[in-house]
Amino acid sequence: MILRTLCIFIAFIFIAPFIVAQEIEPRYKNMVERKYDFPTIPPDTVENWIHQGATVNILDTREKVEYETSHLPQSIHVGYDELKWGVIDTLDRDKPVVVYCSIGVRSQNIAKKMKENGFEDVKNLYGGAFLWAEQFRPLKDSLGQETKNIHGYNRFWGRWIDKAPVVYE
């Protein structure tokens, strides 16, 4: 009986942080869902694709300083204010495309433009990079090293980040 209890306790200690990390703070969920009017894809699906080495185009639509602070593994920076259409035009249009930014608004705008330009399978990452970081999913810095940091865009939007270290430079 003691051994069984000990095993359950140890399993809980290792599993509980993962379960808590995957929850979405209700106010954040409400905020992003009010802003979305384009199909989204769950972070779990994208993370699984990354781990499996799936052939998917992951596009970071944030500004360069945000991307250099941290970005999803395998993502390509295309920007927003100075959108790199030259990079986007080289993508295989038969592969799924996932776009993301901090919360999903800028990426949603880019996704709509991509659909207008012949990309069929485009989805916006649900919750954006902020939710990705808050759930302790893998991030890379400008040197390709793992990081937990996330760029807060500005202090107004960065207030949505509670768990991940926020950077503003």
Contact 56, 72 (CB under 8 A): no
pLDDT grade for 14, boundaries at 50, 70 and 90: very low
CATH superfamily of 25-167: Rhodanese-like domain (3.40.250.10)
- The residue from 50, 59, 101, 111 that is catalytic is 101
Q: How far apart are CA 150 and CA 132, in angstroms?
A: 9
Query: What pTM value is reported for the model?
Result: 0.86
| Cβ within 8 Å of residue 152, ≥6 positions away | 102, 158, 161, 166, 167, 168
Segments making up each domain of the chain, as ranges: 25-167
7 is catalytic: no
Q: Which long-range contacts (CB under 8 A, 24 or more apart) does 111-118 make?
A: 111/38, 112/38, 113/83, 114/88, 117/88, 118/93
Q: pLDDT by residue (tens digit) across 109-168?
A: 999 999 999 999 999 999 999 999 999 999 999 999 999 999 999 999 999 999 999 999
Q: How far apart are CA 36 and CA 69, in angstroms?
A: 25
